Chains A and B, each alone.
Chain A
Amino acid sequence: MNAAAPALHVALVGNPNCGKTALFNRLTGGRQKVANYAGVTVERKEGRFETPAGRSVRVLDLPGAYSLDAASPDEVITRDICAGRYAGEAPPDLIVCVLDATNLRLHLRFALELKRLGRPMVIALNMMDVAKKRGIRIDAEKLSAALGAPVVETVAVQNGGAAALLAQLDGAWPNASATTTNDDTDLHAQVRALLADAVTMPRATSAVDDAIDAVVLHRAGGLAILAAVMFLIFQAVFTWAAPLQDAVTDGVAAAGEWVGGLLASMPLLQSLVTDGIFAGLGTVLTFLPQILILFLFILILEESGYLPRAAFLLDTLMFRAGLTGRSFIPLLSSFACAIPGIMATRSIADPRDRLTTILVAPLMTCSARLPIYTLLIAAFIPRRDVFGLFNLQGIVLFVLYFAGIASALAVAWVIKRLRRDKSEHMLIMELPSYRLPNPRSVLVGLWERAVIFVRRVGGILLALTVLLWFLSSFPAPPEGATQPPIDYSFAGRIGHWMTHVFAPIGFNWQICVALIPGLAAREVAVSSLATVYALSAANDDAAATLLGPAIAAQWSLATALSLLAWYVFAPQCMSTLAVIRRETNSWRNVWIATGYLFGLAYLASFVTYQVARALS
């Protein structure tokens, strides 16, 4: 084969859960480009590799689909590309139809449907290792004759598991063979005939699946297991990530100081680099450990097949609130950060359910709010035992988390009521076989998500940090100034002006000033408050210890409670809004999210402040 020949363009197609992505990773070795198809938020994954004979191949991992009669944006893409009529994508030279060898009853129908397109096709019988273990025997020759396409066996999760497919790509190209079949009953009849003829199956289900499902989906036991899993994830995200986060913060700060030292002769540039760029970089990167740990768990749960089970258990509760069981994972992720949460809504097929989930995701208490909560609770809420069992500070923190969840459910319910399109929301969700997670797939997935997060968030957060640095550094204070420099800056002036709006909810100008940098990332508000109160502090923790007594002396309890209530809703996270824009492709949704979150935040703070003042 001539290496200079144009790259063969291959599309991987298959039902969800057929192991298509694992096969893609096996073929490309994780060298892949992840982007979106133009104008829609469907993930486009492309990779390149060379066959053993040196043929260069460009491979597209198409979204999983059950049928060419598309029921979701993902399936539309798959349908159009397979049919060679998707604008902007060249029709594939070869379709590799990936089938789960343990689930042929379902997957063969799709293969027969693809055959009707009359394009060159190869069938990859994937998960042959599991099939053999379960005693499933498949006559590949008979299958090949019936499907009019070569059939190869693959084990995507094993080294060399794609050898037969690679050999096929190096050999002669299969011919296209269009056929003229018709409706579903015919396709299913063909599948049945084919199964009877070419496949022996000792039993329809996996004994392991039956045993695990009996426990995991048990009406009481299943919920208990789910709660334990969630607890473990929370522990990991908030406890195990802490040392890593400190290391990242210290590392970035040290790097910033070092670079700043080089610029000592240029104070303005030095300030921009250390206070602007490196501060922004530090903010982005400190979230990375939490997000990676969270995604590690989610990927393992996803690969193992547990996630759809969690969605199954919670579907009815979430459906009543106007969501779907599939909203569970995005909302869980949002407790670390709304950005990966909103990105995870791509697994929700119904566009209405997806939008609702995106809109309420910012109400989950993300970890960026914790520094503020910790500061205010430590400064204003007495450490008092309640009923000898609980601590008042802990109770307040719990109430804040709970308020977020409760308001998310309430908002979702209201959206459901307001929506004009009341047609049925489809669930129909496959619960795949349990599998041992493959370390390679997990690592590739983790890497992919880390890159996406840093790229999406990095740019905007960095730009905003620099802008805010500018606003709070200029103009410089006049000679003999008595107030902290920020008071004279643009940010200070804006803060004073903002008190007209925020006085009714108890915010003084210092808080208003701190709200501005908090736009970039909520936790920055703590160090901003420290700046405003002219305290020198190395990092947020030190700022909080010094800042606590300062604000405890100057603020009323009503103001502190009002600020806590504000941060339950506060829409001021530009990165989240930017991700909403990207994921929904609409500014309208950004305005809706901003508007309702701001409205709720103001209302909650207003009520809190006025009630607290009246009572004290």
Chain B
Amino acid sequence: MSVRLSELKKGQSAVVRQVEDAHPDDAVARRLRELGFVTGEPVRVVATGPFGRDPILVQIGFTRFALRRPEAGRVVLEGATP
């Protein structure tokens, strides 16, 4: 059972294991990898949206990205810390 980025709570950090394609030719997954969601990269959830805790704001490298939950769900993590 692997933890996904969409399951992290606000303030939690982890390390990216990989980005999974949700379907063949997944443009979202491709873009996430281009933006730096690659193996070994640390991520942290900085904030969550006010409605249904969606989207989530993720710090990766020196950058912050807002991801909707299905987008964050493609990122498989390891070493999640509360």
Q: Do A and B come from one complex?
A: yes
Binding site for B on A (CB under 8 A): 66-67, 69, 71, 102-106, 109, 184-185, 188, 201, 204-205, 209-210, 213-214, 217-220, 222-223, 308, 311-313, 315-317, 319, 325, 424, 426-431
Contact partner of A430 (CB less than 8 A), chosen from B22, B41, B65, is B65
Pairs across A and B, CB under 8 Å, 11 listed: A102-B62, A201-B62, A210-B46, A213-B57, A217-B47, A219-B48, A315-B55, A430-B63, A430-B64, A430-B65, A431-B65
Q: Which residue of B lies closest to A203 (CB)?
A: B62
Could you tell me if A104 and B62 are in contact, using CB atoms closer than 8 angstroms? yes
Could you tell me if B68 and A427 are in contact, using CB atoms closer than 8 angstroms? yes
Residues in A whose Cβ lies below 8 Å from that of B41: 188
Contact partner of B55 (CB less than 8 A), chosen from A188, A214, A316, A430, is A316
Binding site for A on B (CB under 8 A): 22, 27-28, 30-36, 38-39, 41, 46-52, 54-55, 57, 59-68, 70-71
Residues in B whose Cβ lies below 8 Å from that of A222: 50
Q: Give the distance in Å from the alpha carbon of A587 to the alpha carbon of B49 in the complex.
A: 38
Q: Which residue of B lies closest to A425 (CB)?
A: B68
Could you tell me if B62 and A427 are in contact, using CB atoms closer than 8 angstroms? no
Q: In the assembled complex, how far is the CB of residue B46 from the closest CB belonging to chain A, in whole angstroms?
A: 7
Q: In the assembled complex, how far is the CB of residue B80 from the closest CB belonging to chain A, in whole angstroms?
A: 18
Q: In the assembled complex, how far is the CB of residue A34 from the closest CB belonging to chain B, in whole angstroms?
A: 28
Q: Give the distance in Å from the alpha carbon of A317 to the alpha carbon of B51 in the complex.
A: 7
Q: In the assembled complex, how far is the CB of residue A85 from the closest CB belonging to chain B, in whole angstroms?
A: 21
Could you tell me if A204 and B35 are in contact, using CB atoms closer than 8 angstroms? no
- A66-B34, A427-B71 as given contacts; A219 in contact with B64, CB under 8 Å: no
Q: Which residue of B lies closest to A195 (CB)?
A: B61
Q: Which residue of B lies closest to A134 (CB)?
A: B62
Could you tell me if A204 and B31 are in contact, using CB atoms closer than 8 angstroms? no
Q: In the assembled complex, how far is the CB of residue A93 from the closest CB belonging to chain B, in whole angstroms?
A: 27
Q: In the assembled complex, how far is the CB of residue B68 from the closest CB belonging to chain A, in whole angstroms?
A: 5
Could you tell me if B32 and A428 are in contact, using CB atoms closer than 8 angstroms? yes
Q: Give the distance in Å from the alpha carbon of A428 to the alpha carbon of B56 in the complex.
A: 10
Q: In the assembled complex, how far is the CB of residue B23 from the closest CB belonging to chain A, in whole angstroms?
A: 9
Contact partner of A429 (CB less than 8 A), chosen from B48, B62, B65, is B65
Q: Which residue of B lies closest to A214 (CB)?
A: B47
Could you tell me if A428 and B31 are in contact, using CB atoms closer than 8 angstroms? yes
Could you tell me if A428 and B49 are in contact, using CB atoms closer than 8 angstroms? no
Apart from A69-B30, A315-B54, A427-B66, 14 more pairs, CB < 8 Å: A71-B31, A105-B63, A106-B36, A184-B33, A201-B62, A204-B62, A205-B62, A312-B57, A426-B71, A427-B55, A428-B65, A428-B66, A428-B71, A429-B65
Residues in A whose Cβ lies below 8 Å from that of B32: 428
Q: In the assembled complex, how far is the CB of residue A592 from the closest CB belonging to chain B, in whole angstroms?
A: 27
Could you tell me if B62 and A312 are in contact, using CB atoms closer than 8 angstroms? no
Q: Give the distance in Å from the alpha carbon of A204 to the alpha carbon of B28 in the complex.
A: 25
Q: In the assembled complex, how far is the CB of residue B47 from the closest CB belonging to chain A, in whole angstroms?
A: 4
Residues in A whose Cβ lies below 8 Å from that of B36: 105-106, 109, 188
Q: Which residue of B lies closest to A222 (CB)?
A: B50
Residues in B whose Cβ lies below 8 Å from that of A312: 47, 49, 55, 57, 66
Could you tell me if B59 and A223 are in contact, using CB atoms closer than 8 angstroms? no
Q: In the assembled complex, how far is the CB of residue A373 from the closest CB belonging to chain B, in whole angstroms?
A: 31
- A66-B35, A184-B38 as given contacts; A316 in contact with B49, CB under 8 Å: yes
Residues in B whose Cβ lies below 8 Å from that of A311: 66
Could you tell me if B57 and A431 are in contact, using CB atoms closer than 8 angstroms? yes
Q: In the assembled complex, how far is the CB of residue A203 from the closest CB belonging to chain B, in whole angstroms?
A: 9
Q: In the assembled complex, how far is the CB of residue B58 from the closest CB belonging to chain A, in whole angstroms?
A: 10
Could you tell me if A428 and B62 are in contact, using CB atoms closer than 8 angstroms? no
Q: Give the distance in Å from the alpha carbon of A153 to the alpha carbon of B71 in the complex.
A: 36
Query: What 6 pairs between A and B have smallest CB-CB spacing?
Result: A105-B61, A316-B51, A217-B47, A219-B50, A67-B34, A431-B64
Could you tell me if A315 and B34 are in contact, using CB atoms closer than 8 angstroms? no
Q: Give the distance in Å from the alpha carbon of A204 to the alpha carbon of B43 in the complex.
A: 11
Could you tell me if B28 and A428 are in contact, using CB atoms closer than 8 angstroms? yes
Q: In the assembled complex, how far is the CB of residue B13 from the closest CB belonging to chain A, in whole angstroms?
A: 11
Q: In the assembled complex, how far is the CB of residue A508 from the closest CB belonging to chain B, in whole angstroms?
A: 46
Q: In the assembled complex, how far is the CB of residue A489 from the closest CB belonging to chain B, in whole angstroms?
A: 54
Residues in B whose Cβ lies below 8 Å from that of A315: 49, 54-55, 66, 68
Q: Which residue of A lies closest to B26 (CB)?
A: A424
Q: Give the distance in Å from the alpha carbon of A309 to the alpha carbon of B39 in the complex.
A: 28
Residues in A whose Cβ lies below 8 Å from that of B33: 184
Q: Which residue of B lies closest to A217 (CB)?
A: B47
Could you tell me if B31 and A424 are in contact, using CB atoms closer than 8 angstroms? no
Q: Give the distance in Å from the alpha carbon of A424 to the alpha carbon of B49 in the complex.
A: 19
Could you tell me if B50 and A313 are in contact, using CB atoms closer than 8 angstroms? yes
- A71-B27, A429-B65 as given contacts; A223 in contact with B38, CB under 8 Å: no
Residues in B whose Cβ lies below 8 Å from that of A102: 62
Could you tell me if A103 and B68 are in contact, using CB atoms closer than 8 angstroms? no
Q: In the assembled complex, how far is the CB of residue A590 from the closest CB belonging to chain B, in whole angstroms?
A: 29
Q: Give the distance in Å from the alpha carbon of A106 to the alpha carbon of B41 in the complex.
A: 12
Q: In the assembled complex, how far is the CB of residue B18 from the closest CB belonging to chain A, in whole angstroms?
A: 10
Could you tell me if A308 and B66 are in contact, using CB atoms closer than 8 angstroms? yes
Could you tell me if B66 and A429 are in contact, using CB atoms closer than 8 angstroms? yes
